[in-house]
Amino acid sequence: MNKYSVLMVDDEQEVIEVIMRKLNWEELGFTVCGSASNGAEALEMAEELQPDVVMTDIKMPYMDGLELSRHLKSLFPDIRIIIFSGFDEFEYAKEAIRLEAEEYLLKPIDSAEVRRVFEKVHKRLDEDRDRRSSVERLEEYYQNSLPLLRENFFMSLMEGHIPEEKLKDFQEDYHLKLDGPVYVVSIVHVSASEIPEGLNPRLMHFSVRELARDYFEDRWRSYVFSYRGNILVLSQLSSQEEISAYTDDCDRFCRLARRSCKALTTVGISRTTTQIREISSVYDGAREAVSYRVIYGTGKAINIQEIAPESDTSETQFEEILQGLFKQIRMGNEELLKEQIGRLTAWIGRSGLGIREYRLVLMDLVTGFYRFCTGSEIDIERVSPEHEDIYTYLLQMDSAEDIGQWLYEISERALAILRDQRLTKTQSFVTQALEFVRDHYSDSDLDLEMVCSSLGVSAAYFSTVFKKETGSTFISYLTDYRMKEAIRLMDEEDEKTYITAEKVGYADPNYFSYVFKKKFGMSPTRYRKTKDSKS
């Protein structure tokens, strides 16, 4: 039987003891991990103990059971809450339902009823655990579904429906390795007029596809899939120069398919690209190449670049590449930053620019970088301190590779400056919070919400950053700070306990005494007596 933990909360200790005695917790599959006498204490214990179930009274000092339940559901959505109370009021029951409590029980508690409730809760917890443990079965199902998922991925890729920012995630999810650096798409067209008598066309298609998979996958790190009735091969080359060897290999495949499968095939080869997101556009080149079989004949490989060479790379790509570069600097992704710089220098190197166009491109590059730095509050002199006139400096460079190297160096500096800015902002953010506590700790209304409102941030973001920077939750830090101030005041002043409590932000002196004793192991009164006896 699965074991789950329970946290009991009631300001009447004898009630907790009665409930614990009445039930055989081991038999029910539970262990009581702790008990608290009020909601504030229970909330702190829940953060530390992470119980599966909290059973709480409603009417308690400092923080009642309903407020505790609201906090618990916010922090731990999966936690199970059982509410018991001596108040048979509709509003209480309605609020318990809204908080998704498992049960609302009335005192005096009947042991049989409590047992029934915990049996039901245990069953629900088991169901939750079973769902989580089914991950292995899902993984097996996922592996079996992987071929179909990959097929759908490649279909979406061909149609340009996959956002660039999702490409990496899909590759990881579907165990694909598409690292290029050069991509080419080929269409293997099987002639329907040359299928041997008695052979099913679908079986012919399947046979050729399997042959293509065996032939291309290892040779060219290819992925073979069906799309729009054709067989597609997405291959990866080490360089642009390999396209000739690849074309020859495709030609050999056509002869192999004729000999092995009795299939007349034509392979249409697209232009190459260094960007996987451009595959959908180069695919059209493969379709165009296949259509040329009417002129050049079937049973061979046709490379669109050879029969209809591209006269120039699209100059409209420059601005898109440049903006992609700035995006990667902002995101701090060094790997994609290098990729964007590589794209930009490749564009400059092969675009066939005249001297006038080349100078305009450099001017746009410098202007774009100035705008980026200004918008990001970066001093351009920190990015390129050694060159007063960047444009003239670039004009003196001998190659696109030199420009790429310079661009990488200043992009790295800009990236580092942005990281420092974010770090400084985070540290300043926490410093402001600590100062706020120092200035307002005596305010009994001081809480997480007040600080967040002052700083203009969400509680979730604040809590994450604060704990990361200080190693403590805000509530724990505030409590420790107030206790430290309480000790200081008691050492320096001879005031009543309730006055000291007010000065450190506790409107209820009893709760102050409770927190003090929990922190230091003795009451404020005893602390004073101990201090006086030593003096």
- Asked whether residue 428 is assigned to any structural domain, the reply reads no
- As for how many domains the chain has, the answer is 4
Find out whether 189 and 230 touch, Cβ atoms under 8 Å.
Answer: yes
In tens digits, what is the pLDDT along the chain, a chain of 535 residues? 889 999 999 988 888 888 888 889 999 999 999 999 999 899 989 988 999 999 999 888 888 888 898 889 888 888 999 988 876 665 666 676 676 777 788 877 788 888 999 999 999 988 888 876 666 666 777 777 888 888 889 998 888 888 888 888 888 888 899 998 999 999 999 988 777 777 788 888 899 999 999 999 999 999 999 988 889 999 999 998 899 899 999 999 999 999 988 899 999 999 999 988 888 888 988 988 887 776 567 889 999 887 765 544 445 577 888 888 888 887 777 888 888 888 888 887 665 555 677 788 888 888 888 888 887 778 877 877 676 688 888 877 767 788 888 888 888 888 888 877 766 666 677 888 899 999 999 999 998 888 888 887 777 678 877 888 888 888 999 999 999 999 999 988 888 999 999 999 999 999 999 999 999 999 998 988 887 776 5
- Asked whether residue 336 is assigned to any structural domain, the reply reads yes
Q: Whole-angstrom Cα distance, residue 471 to residue 156?
A: 45
Amino acid at 57: D
List phi, psi (to 5°) of 253.
-60, -40
Predicted pLDDT at 422: 67
Between vectors from CA 262 to CA 260 and to CA 268, what angle results, nearest 5°?
Answer: 90
Q: Specify the residue for token string 């705008």.
A: 371
Predicted pLDDT at 352: 57
What is the CATH classification number for the domain harbouring 520? 1.10.10.60
Q: Are residues 122 and 158 in the same domain?
A: no
Q: Are residues 153 and 301 in the same domain?
A: yes
Q: Are residues 376 and 483 in the same domain?
A: no
Last residue of a domain, one of 307, 334, 362: 307
Q: Which domain holds residue 238?
A: 148-307
Last residue of a domain, one of 289, 307, 325: 307
What is the CATH classification number for the domain harbouring 264? 3.30.70.270
Predicted pLDDT at 252: 93
- For residue 305, the Cα-to-chain-centroid distance in whole angstroms is 41
Q: Are residues 46 and 72 in the same domain?
A: yes
Q: Whole-angstrom Cα distance, residue 204 to residue 373?
A: 59
Q: Whole-angstrom Cα distance, residue 36 to residue 45?
A: 8
Q: Are residues 383 and 412 in the same domain?
A: yes
Q: Are residues 18 and 56 in the same domain?
A: yes
Q: Is residue 78 packed enough to be buried (19+ CB in 10 Å), middle (13-18) or exposed (0-12)?
A: exposed
| This prediction's pTM | 0.38
